[in-house]
């Protein structure tokens, strides 16, 4: 899709460029907030898998609105570097590493977080079951950090793909939060599996102190937490995990822009065509592309 | 519901004992004999998971005891370990096991010990000695980050087990299982590592990643030895074979839909050489790969559900012959002293060898395709010479510019045994073309002059004395025509001549008339008719036509020579030169594609051969025949490249070319069916997918599905397909494409041809036609004359058109729009004999419009009783239609929180409809649309409601009967719900078709109902 047709098909993409958001996903968090009032009285926020930074932008604008809330702190964590955003402390780090947790705690002066979010998604392969598994692992990594850093009653929001095993995740999150809701902002296409899990009221099992240890895999970390994840048994019995459907809430006004609809453009559209706010980072196949450009790659179709 | 058939991504392949292939197709394990191509066995292993890997250990010293073969099959978190005997015993319940995490690979250390590598880089070792497996030990290398790939390898000499692990970021970790010590952390890849394997001898490591390179590493030192660049997308799988003293080969498969053969040499280059690219999978992704190293056969499994067999040693097979001659080689062999600029102008294949002529009129023979011999020199044929050979007789016709004709006959030793020299100037001054035709054991030649005023001469040649026994003058139409191909229908005695400008001439040979009995100019959009193949056995005159531009057609002529296109499509890319009707019914095309010559099986959608020859502009010939014993297609391809003559002849193949045909290469978006005109037990099924193709096939009541044809008319991914009746269907997609297709039956296959298309509203259309519905229009005699179409668009537009079959025209009657949201569904419905349209949109609303009052000037609604189709009776004396709008809706009611993704209606009584909706919000709603008694009002009332009918978006609802519906969702659940009073689940089922998006319930009568489910794959269940 060329720039023009993407502009035409996707009004959110266009609006994001006009309003200076780094990605259209900013509207998803804005609509989630409209519905759940997520940022009310929030002081310490962790944005995981933050690059290119559109959620951090939303957090920064909303939490520091009207110059109030000056003691609030936002930490954005990603493996990739990110260009600076006002009021956001960037941390280029691995979210599964214990050191990262320490660094965030230092920034928060030892206080726990009110709000942890993650809009991260892995590169999809196209093999649905594998992609869903990897996405679930990414959410678990974010959740692992969240369980260590969230205060009781805190909120966790993450991107999910509503595939075949999403009910396992709903069930397992139910052990950790008062309320687990599957939310779909209008800015997220109906044709996409994407939705967001909004987990309100963090309440870890009494007596359980989550600790990140490098020798534990995320799976082992959560097996210890007893939230019903599958585990290794002596005789390799396959035990069906508990499944649960989380209530669904559509967010954003019904009159807001429909991300599936095609919109007509203004007449003066051409003069308005905008470049994206943030260029994509270098892909791993950069060298392959270079070779192809030079005609050194034998690609026959 | 009982699963009957499944086509979908092939995620696991394993060669068993160099004779069978084990394949994982969805949850099913299938066993094929790849020499005969037969499927030997099939069994479902898992309920929810797809098979991602298969390993086995065979402890038979010699002998064939199936209980000595232990097999491990895994997929996702599931694992099952059993013996071959247990697998075959359908009374034996296969165990369902797991290690609590995603499994990447398993390896049998011995008959009773299995190592299992999971995606957190942990290896669990288990004992499989007893019925219940027992965990012995878990091992890790102190690095538990998530892996994308990994394999276990046992060194054949030392017996040491090495773990090769591919991480999600750049790394390949090599560690020793026993000690847990990391031997290497190889970091020269970029991005996720999708496969890492060891060479069988354990001396090298081969890996691939997101960076699209294949890397070969020294196992001992960890040094990067070579890179292989070439794949256009991510590489998913690797296999090493043919390990020798000098190097080995790698077979790779990729997202770019190709598999490739590479050579790695121990010394010399730091590059892997790419020897061959194999195309044949369609859509995207070749997921799985396996090699029979002993017989040198490669196997690939794709997202298209196809299992393709590749001969990895085709050049070493018995009967293979490949050679090239430079001009000087030919000069040496023939003894001709070629002068400067002298070229091989023409050559033909007469069955025992080639006859060739140079630009100086020197004739020579390539005896047995091996040795060049001089024949004679004849200056009449210098610079311009026509050479044509008969297909089944060793007879060649030679023509000069001035009309000199030689007819030559050869024997098996390639000796010229007879020669007839004919001065052929009676009918014309110059000769421009000769086309040959052989039928009923008779030989015919067609001579054409470049002068448009001079006629075509059609002569029969006596194969004994090589003289002309008869001749017929065929007059040319007045316009300029250039002959390109010829075909003969022996049943009707018609001669077909194909020309440039898509022109077809038909001559009747049985009468004395010289004029063509039919002339079709610009017969279709195209240029040169490159081949004509009549179906002589067909009751009606029917023929295949190929156009050099890449399209092909199946055309039927009535006795009055009125024609109908039964089948029209085009190949993906390239030029078509000819068509082969293979003995097994498959249709095979050949032609050129960029720099190559190819042969392509259009029925089963795979490439049979490809030769890089430099492209279409050259001298070439392709001779093909069916091997008498193997029934396989054999061929010889000769071409000139850079003045070298090159020859390729296919040898005897060890295995078949294809084990599973598969279906679409990307997600199936809709499916529909119609009744077959013939045969009670068969339905015609049409599927459309994200890969932009439509496919037609037949479905039997036992679930057997057979693919017939593929259509590439749409340029955007399919959105909806619905039938109008048993003869016509409509398909729609993005870019405002809406095509009307007519279904027919010819050459033993169901086929479709485009009957009409809805012209897009914009020059550069970008609207998606999301859904549509039709209602048939009949005339006073109750004959069907057309239909009314309602189409719903992504910009909220709703349009109603009238289509008339006789004029093939869509007339816009109503143009309006709903709101500003995307409409997902549109349906006509009838209440109390009045016509309405119902739409469902992204805003979760259903909306009802009364169209009755708008169209009543033109139509009367008839029918509408339960089980009777509602139709529109066209009123007499219809004025020109004027464009109208829908007006205000009758009902606009929110049902779901967000998009209505599934909608089904069941007519209960003429004034009552049950409406079922399913949404992005997981909810399933049963509501009732009905007329208020004694009033014009229609009401909608929710009867029952389940907010969590699935754990994810409900994408399809299909009525099974008046009381039961089938509901499919993206969570891959397939549930039968009883919709009377309260919603109750009747049956819970699960499909391994991911991205579940469409379904259809097919009623075969006799209580046989099948459910078809489409998404990333296609499943057939018996309800």
- The pLDDT tens digits for B632-673 are 899 999 999 998 999 999 999 999 999 999 999 999 999 999
Lowest mean pLDDT among A258-267, B360-369, B596-605, B997-1006: A258-267
Find the helix or strand (DSSP H, E) in which A146 lies. helix A128-149
At B143, the pLDDT band (50, 70, 90 cuts) reads: confident
Helices and strands (H and E) in chain B: how many = 3, 84
**Distance (Å) from the alpha carbon of B992 to chain A's nearest alpha carbon:** 9
- Res. B179: pLDDT tops 80: yes
% helix / strand / coil in chain A, to the nearest 5?
Answer: 35, 20, 50
B chain contacts of residue A292, beta-carbon cutoff 8 Å: 232
* Count of beta carbons in the 10 Å neighbourhood of residue A44: 23
Q: Does B847 touch chain A (CB under 8 A)?
A: no
| Distant-in-sequence, close-in-space partners of A286: CB < 8 Å, separation ≥ 6 | B190, B211
pTM assigned to the model: 0.94
pLDDT at A268: 47
The Cα A125–Cα B230 span in angstroms is 19
Mean pLDDT of chain A: 85
Task: Check whether the bond before A52 is cis (ω within 30° of 0).
Answer: yes
Average pLDDT of the segment spanning B570-595? 93
CB B871 within 8 A of CB B855: no
- Res. A275: pLDDT tops 70: no
Cα–Cα distances in angstroms (integers) from residue B731 to residues A263, B717, B904, in the given order: 23, 11, 18
- The pLDDT tens digits for B298-342 are 999 999 999 999 999 999 999 999 999 999 999 999 999 999 999
The Cα B965–Cα B958 span in angstroms is 5
At A280, the pLDDT band (50, 70, 90 cuts) reads: low
Closest residue on chain B to A213 (Cα): B144
- Res. B347: pLDDT tops 70: yes
Statement: A3-267+277-293 belongs to CATH 3.40.50.150: yes
Closest CA to A169 of A248, A244, A250: A244
What one-character DSSP code corresponds to residue A164? T
The Cα A254–Cα B274 span in angstroms is 55
Chain mean position to CA B810: 31
Looking at the DSSP bridge assignments, the partners of residue B448 are: B433
Find the helix or strand (DSSP H, E) in which B687 lies. strand B682-689
A chain contacts of residue B794, beta-carbon cutoff 8 Å: 260-262
Mean pLDDT of chain B: 93
What one-character DSSP code corresponds to residue A195? E
- The pLDDT tens digits for B908-963 are 988 899 999 999 999 999 999 999 887 878 999 999 999 999 999 999 999 999 99
Interface A-B: count of C-beta contacts within 8 A: 229
Average pLDDT of the segment spanning A200-206? 92
- Domain residue extents for chain A: 3-267+277-293
Q: Does B277 touch chain A (CB under 8 A)?
A: yes
Report CA torsion sign: A137, A141, A142, A143.
Answer: positive
Give percent of chain B with pLDDT exceeding 90: 84
- The pLDDT tens digits for B512-567 are 889 999 999 999 999 999 999 999 888 899 999 999 999 999 999 999 999 999 99
At A3, the pLDDT band (50, 70, 90 cuts) reads: very low
Looking at the DSSP bridge assignments, the partners of residue B349 are: B354
pLDDT at B856: 84
Pick from B232-236, B568-572, B761-765 the range whose average pLDDT is largest.
B232-236
At A6, the pLDDT band (50, 70, 90 cuts) reads: low
- The pLDDT tens digits for B585-643 are 999 999 999 899 999 999 999 999 999 999 999 999 999 999 988 888 999 999 999 98
B chain contacts of residue A165, beta-carbon cutoff 8 Å: 971
Q: Is A26 helix (H, G, I), strand (E, B) or coil?
A: helix
Which of B146, B279, B794 shows the shortest C-beta gap to A261? Answer: B794
- The pLDDT tens digits for B969-996 are 999 999 999 999 789 999 999 999 999 9
- The pLDDT tens digits for A207-230 are 888 888 878 888 888 887 788 888
| Distant-in-sequence, close-in-space partners of B855: CB < 8 Å, separation ≥ 6 | B788, B800, B813, B835, B872
pLDDT at A2: 44
The Cα B1022–Cα B1006 span in angstroms is 13
Catalytic hit among A28, A73, A159, A184: A159
Q: Does B276 touch chain A (CB under 8 A)?
A: no
Please confirm, yes or no, whether A234 is among the known catalytic residues: no
**Distance (Å) from the alpha carbon of B946 to chain A's nearest alpha carbon:** 11
- Res. B876: pLDDT tops 90: no
- Res. A199: pLDDT tops 70: yes
Give all strands of the β-sheet with B633-641 in edge-to-edge order.
B321-325, B644-649, B633-641, B620-626
Average pLDDT of the segment spanning A102-125? 92
pLDDT at A180: 96
Which of B230, B258, B843 shows the shortest C-beta gap to A254? Answer: B843
Residue at token pair 């039961």? B964
pLDDT at B877: 62
Pairing of strands B518-520, B529-534: unpaired
A67 is in an annotated binding site: no
Average pLDDT of the segment spanning B875-890? 82
pLDDT at A215: 81
Looking at the DSSP bridge assignments, the partners of residue B723 are: B729
Q: Calculate helix-pair angle for A98-107, A128-149, nearest 10 degrees.
A: 40
At B147, the pLDDT band (50, 70, 90 cuts) reads: very high
């Amino acid at each position: 899709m060329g720039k023009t047709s993407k502009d035409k098909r996707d009004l959110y993409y266009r609006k994001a460029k006009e309003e200076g958001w780094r990605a259209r996903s900013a509207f998803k968090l804005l609509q989630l907030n409209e519905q759940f009032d997520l940022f009310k009285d929030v002081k310490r926020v962790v944005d995981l898998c933050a690059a290119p930074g559109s959620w951090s932008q939303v957090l920064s604008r909303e939490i520091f609105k009207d110059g109030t809330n000056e003691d609030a702190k936002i930490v954005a964590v990603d493996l990739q570097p990110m260009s600076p955003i006002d009021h956001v402390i960037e941390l280029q780090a691995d979210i599964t590493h214990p050191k990262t947790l320490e660094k965030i705690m230092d920034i928060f002066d030892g206080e726990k977080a009110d709000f942890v979010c993650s809009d991260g998604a892995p590169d999809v392969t196209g093999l649905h079951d594998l992609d869903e598994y990897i996405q679930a692992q990414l959410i678990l990594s974010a959740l692992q950090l969240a369980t260590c850093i969230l205060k009781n009653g805190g909120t966790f929001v993450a991107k999910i793909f509503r595939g075949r095993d999403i009910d396992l995740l709903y069930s397992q999150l139910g052990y950790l939060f008062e309320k687990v809701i599957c939310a779909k902002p209008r800015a997220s296409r109906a044709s996409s599996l994407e939705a967001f899990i909004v987990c309100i009221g963090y309440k870890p099992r009494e007596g359980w102190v989550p600790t990140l240890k490098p020798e534990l895999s995320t799976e082992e970390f959560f097996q210890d937490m007893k939230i019903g994840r599958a585990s290794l048994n002596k005789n390799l019995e396959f035990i069906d995990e508990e499944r649960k459907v989380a209530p669904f809430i559509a967010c954003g006004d019904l009159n807001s822009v429909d991300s599936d609809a095609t919109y007509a453009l203004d007449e003066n559209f051409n003069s308005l065509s905008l470049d994206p706010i943030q260029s994509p980072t270098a892909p791993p196949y950069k060298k392959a592309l270079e070779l192809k450009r030079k005609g050194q790659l034998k690609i026959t179709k | 519901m009982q699963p009957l058939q499944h086509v979908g991504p092939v995620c696991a392949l394993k060669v068993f004992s160099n004779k069978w292939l084990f394949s994982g197709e969805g949850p099913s394990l299938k066993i094929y004999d790849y020499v005969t191509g037969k499927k030997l066995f099939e069994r479902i292993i898992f309920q929810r998971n797809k098979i991602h890997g298969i390993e086995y250990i065979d402890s038979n010293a010699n002998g064939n005891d199936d209980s000595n073969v232990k097999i491990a099959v895994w997929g996702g978190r599931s694992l099952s370990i059993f013996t071959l005997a247990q697998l075959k015993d359908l009374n034996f319940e296969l165990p369902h096991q797991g290690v609590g995490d995603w499994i990447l690979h398993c390896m049998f250390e011995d008959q009773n010990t299995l190592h299992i590598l999971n995606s957190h880089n942990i290896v669990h070792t288990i004992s499989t000695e007893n019925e219940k497996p027992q965990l012995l030990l878990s091992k890790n290398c102190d690095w538990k980050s998530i892996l994308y790939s990994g394999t276990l390898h046992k060194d054949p000499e030392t017996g040491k087990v090495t773990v090769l692990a591919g991480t999600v970021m750049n790394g390949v970790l090599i560690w020793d299982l026993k000690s847990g010590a990391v031997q290497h952390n190889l970091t020269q890849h970029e991005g996720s590592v999708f496969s890492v394997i060891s060479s069988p001898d354990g001396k090298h490591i081969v890996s691939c990643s997101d960076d699209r390179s294949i890397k070969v590493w020294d196992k001992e030192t960890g040094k990067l030895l070579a890179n292989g660049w070439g794949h256009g997308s991510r590489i998913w799988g690797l296999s090493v074979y043919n390990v020798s003293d000098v190097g080995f080969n790698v077979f790779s498969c990729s997202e770019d839909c190709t598999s490739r053969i590479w050579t790695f040499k121990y010394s010399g280059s730091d590059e892997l050489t790419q020897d061959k690219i194999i195309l044949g999978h369609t859509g995207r992704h070749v997921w799985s790969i396996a090699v029979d190293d002993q017989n040198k056969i490669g196997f690939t499994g794709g997202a298209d559900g196809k299992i393709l067999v590749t001969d990895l040693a085709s050049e070493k097979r018995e009967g293979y012959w490949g050679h090239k001659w430079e001009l000087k080689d030919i000069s040496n062999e023939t003894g001709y002293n070629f002068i400067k600029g002298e070229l091989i102008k023409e050559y033909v294949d007469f069955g025992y060898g080639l006859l060739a002529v140079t630009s100086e009129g020197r004739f020579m023979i390539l005896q047995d395709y091996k040795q060049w011999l001089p024949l004679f020199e004849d200056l009449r044929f210098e610079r311009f010479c026509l050479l044509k050979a008969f297909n089944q007789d060793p007879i060649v016709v030679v023509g000069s510019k001035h009309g000199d004709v030689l007819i030559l006959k050869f024997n098996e030793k390639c000796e010229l045994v007879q020669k007839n020299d004919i001065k052929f100037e009676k009918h014309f001054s110059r000769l421009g073309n000769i086309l040959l035709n052989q039928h009923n054991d008779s030989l015919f030649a067609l001579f054409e002059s470049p002068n448009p005023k001079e006629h075509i001469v059609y002569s029969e040649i006596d194969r004994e004395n090589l003289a002309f026994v008869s001749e017929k003058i065929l007059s040319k139409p007045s316009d300029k025509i250039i002959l390109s191909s010829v075909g003969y229908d022996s049943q009707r005695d018609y001669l077909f001549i194909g020309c440039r400008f898509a022109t077809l001439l038909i001559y009747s040979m049985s009468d004395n008339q010289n004029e063509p009995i039919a002339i079709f100019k610009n017969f279709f959009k195209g240029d040169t008719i490159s081949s004509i193949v009549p179906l002589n056995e067909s009751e009606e005159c029917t023929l295949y036509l190929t156009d050099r531009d890449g399209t092909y057609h199946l055309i039927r002529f009535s006795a009055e020579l009125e024609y109908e296109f039964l089948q029209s499509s085009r190949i993906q890319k390239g030029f078509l030169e000819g068509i082969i009707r293979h003995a097994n019914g498959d249709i095979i095309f050949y032609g050129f594609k960029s720099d190559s010559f190819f042969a392509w099986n259009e029925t089963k959608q795979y490439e049979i051969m490809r030769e890089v020859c430099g492209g279409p502009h050259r001298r070439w010939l392709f001779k093909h025949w069916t091997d008498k014993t193997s029934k396989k297609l054999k061929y010889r391809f000769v071409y000139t490249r850079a003045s070298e003559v090159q020859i390729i002849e296919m040898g005897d193949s060890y295995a078949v070319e294809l084990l599973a045909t598969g279906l679409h290469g990307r997600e199936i978006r809709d499916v529909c069916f119609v009744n077959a005109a013939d045969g009670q037990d068969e339905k015609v099924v049409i599927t459309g997918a994200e890969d932009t193709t439509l496919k037609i096939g037949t479905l039997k009541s036992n679930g057997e599905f057979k693919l017939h044809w593929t259509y590439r008319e749409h340029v955007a991914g399919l959105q909806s397909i619905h039938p109008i009746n048993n003869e016509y269907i409509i398909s729609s997609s993005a870019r405002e494409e809406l095509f009307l297709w007519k279904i027919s039956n010819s050459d033993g296959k169901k086929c479709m041809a485009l009957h009409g298309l809805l012209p897009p509203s914009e020059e550069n259309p970008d609207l998606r036609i999301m859904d549509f519905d039709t209602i048939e229009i009949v005339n006073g005699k109750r004959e069907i004359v057309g239909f009314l179409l309602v189409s719903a668009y992504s910009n909220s537009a709703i349009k109603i058109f009238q289509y008339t079959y006789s004029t093939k025209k869509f007339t816009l009657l109503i143009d309006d729009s709903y709101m500003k949201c995307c409409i997902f569904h549109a349906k006509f419905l009838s209440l109390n004999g009045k016509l309405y349209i119902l739409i469902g949109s992204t805003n979760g609303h259903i909306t009802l419009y009364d169209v009755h009052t708008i169209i009543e000037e033109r139509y009367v609604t008839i029918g509408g009783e339960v089980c009777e189709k509602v139709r529109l009776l066209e009123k007499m004396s219809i004025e020109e239609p004027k464009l109208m709008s829908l007006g205000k809706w009758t009902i606009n009611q929110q049902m779901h929180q967000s998009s209505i993704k599934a909608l089904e209606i069941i007519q209960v009584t003429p004034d009552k409809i049950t409406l079922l909706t399913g949404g992005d919000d997981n909810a399933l709603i049963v509501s009732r649309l009905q007329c208020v008694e004694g009033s014009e009002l229609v009401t909608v009332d929710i009867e029952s409601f389940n907010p969590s009918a699935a754990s994810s978006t409900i994408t399809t609802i299909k009525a099974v009967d008046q009381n039961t519906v089938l509901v499919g969702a993206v969570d891959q659940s397939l549930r039968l719900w009883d919709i009377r009073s309260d919603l109750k689940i009747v049956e819970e089922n699960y499909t391994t078709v991911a991205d579940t998006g469409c379904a259809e319930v097919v009623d075969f009568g006799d209580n046989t109902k099948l459910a078809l489910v489409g998404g990333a794959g296609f499943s057939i269940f018996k309800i």
